[in-house]
Amino acid sequence: MARETYIGQKPPETSFRLTKEARNKCVKWLDSLTEQTAYDWFKERRFRDNGGAPFCPRCESTRVYDLASRPKWWKCARKGCHHQFSVTSGTILHSRKLSFVSLVKIIFCFADCAKGRSACEMHLVRNHGYQTMWVNLMKIRESMSSTREDVWLREIIEIDAAYFGGKIRPANRKSQRDQQDRRKAEFQKGKRAIMVVRQRQGKTVMFAADDESPAVARAIARQLVDHTGHGALLITDQATAYNDLEAFAPHMTVDHSKGFMIDGISTNQAESAFSRARRSEIGIYHHWSPTWLDFYAGEMSWRENQRKVSTHDKAQEMLDGMLSHPVSRNLKGYWQHYQLPFNQRERGEQRWSRVHAHIPPRTQRLANE
Ligand SMILES: [Zn+2]
């Protein structure tokens, strides 16, 4: 059947991934990589605010000296500080076990794929244990997730939700299958929603929520949407969760029972982000655990925003994110069965409590403005 044509539509662009700008220009550099050159890259990016020269991460003093007793360590010379630090101290790579060469190769291997790469595949390719690879990739995802914290969306914004994780298999016998309505809560297995908030021609924020609820919709309108200037136009489907949005900004809905786009109103950009996330879940990872769903959502939103960036720039962005992220409370000592401090265990807090956080904290920033 011939494809429907639209008058005045732009000719399709060439996919960025087919252009020469997308290619990895660091192949030669990676082939001849030594521990020293890999370390130099880490040092340059960690201390990029000071032209690559080390400064104290605690008091930001540039008066530091090399520690004679420990190679590649520095000590702050400022009176009252004297903090000792290395290139990864206090970052998500604190107490790293892998060499710098291994880390650089993992970062490039993980950066150049469009929809992610699983720990199972990476441990075969990069020759590390599965557990090592899982925890290092999760740390990369956690640092990717934190880039959602500084985003304000404006102009035309599409909001939508889709459910991920917790797949229910149909029963073997048809008689049992007929009794099992997999849409009902009693047959559900902890699937959660991923919310997408996407500015047209702009950034995308994806995060996990327990449900597509009015509370989540209100949180989005308060914490992600920039209401200053000409304000924003919010577009959603006709789910009841979005009924309150009218109170925050002009709100339009598209009736999906009639079509994907009615009178130019659509949430197709949000659906497109879901399409990639769904392919990643099914085709790459095969399973997204509801516990870690927010990290996968963070990864997909990072990849969506970096989709027209070369491999080298993506790898650099990834490394900068990791070196700016504090030590992970969710993943530090994961395979060593690290426990929370006793008072937090008493309160019944879980180690991965931050994973369940719905939306990046924005209250402080709102209070300042
Ligand atoms: Zn200091």
Q: Mind listing the pLDDT tens digit for each residue in 38-65? A: 999 999 999 998 888 899 988 888 999 9
- Whether 257 and 221 share a structural domain: yes
| Å from CA of 62 to ligand 1 middle | 8
Question: Residues 240, 281: one domain?
Answer: yes
Dist CA 222 CA 226 (whole Å): 8
Q: Per the domain annotation, does 334 fall within a domain?
A: no
Give residue 22 CA to ligand 1 midpoint distance, Å: 40
Spacing of C-alpha 83 from chain mean position? 31
> How many domains does the structure of the chain reveal?
2
What are the DSSP calls for 208-263, one per residue? Answer: EESS--HHHHHHHHHHTB--STT-EEEEEES-GGGGGGGGTS-EEEE-TTT-SEET
* Secondary structure of 336-348 in HEC code, one letter for each residue: CCCCCCHHHHHCC
Q: Give distance in angstroms: CA of 78 to centre of ligand 1.
A: 6
Taking the CA of residue 285 as centre, how many other CA atoms within 13 Å lie in the half-sphere pointing to its CB? Answer: 25
Tell me: do 131 and 161 sit in the same domain. Answer: no
Question: Among 163, 181, 315, 331, which residue's Cα sits nearest to residue 241?
Answer: 163
- The residues whose Cβ lies within 5 A of ligand 1, an ion, are 56, 58-59, 61, 76, 78, 81, 83
Domain region containing 275: 151-166+184-306+341-368
How far is Cα 68 from Cα 169, in angstroms, rounded to an integer? 61
Total residue count of the chain as it appears in this document: 369
Instruction: Dig out the tokens for 161 from the structure.
Output: 């939700």
In angstroms, what is the span from residue 66 Cα to ligand 1's centroid?
13
Number of alpha carbons in the 13 Å side-chain half-sphere of residue 310: 11
Query: What's the gap in Å between 67 CA and the centre of ligand 1?
Result: 14
DSSP state of 96: -
Q: What is the rounded CA–CA span in Å between residue 57 and residue 105?
A: 26
Same domain as 302, residue 162: yes
pLDDT, tens only, 127-173? 999 989 999 999 999 999 888 877 888 888 899 988 887 777 788 88
CATH number at residue 233: 3.30.420.10
Return the pLDDT at 1.
44
Instruction: Count other Cβ atoms within 10 Å, centred on residue 288.
Output: 24
Domain assignment of residue 325, yes or no = no
103 and 188, same structural domain? no
Do residue 155 and residue 107 come from a single domain? no
- The pLDDT tens digits for 76-113 are 998 889 999 999 998 999 888 899 999 999 999 999 88
Task: Indicate whether 227 and 357 sit together in one domain.
Answer: yes
Residue 192 shares a structural domain with residue 122: no
Output the DSSP codes for 21-52.
GGS-TTHHHHHT--HHHHHHHHHHHHTGGGTT
Q: How far is the CA of 88 from the centre of ligand 1 (A)?
A: 15
94 CA to centre of ligand 1 in angstroms: 18
CA distance linking residue 93 with residue 139, whole number of Å: 8
214 and 264 share a domain? Answer: yes
User: How remote is the CA of residue 58 from the centroid of ligand 1, in Å?
Assistant: 5
- Regarding whether 264 and 225 lie in a shared domain, the answer is yes
Judge whether residue 359 has pLDDT over 70: no
Q: How far is the CA of 69 from the centre of ligand 1 (A)?
A: 18
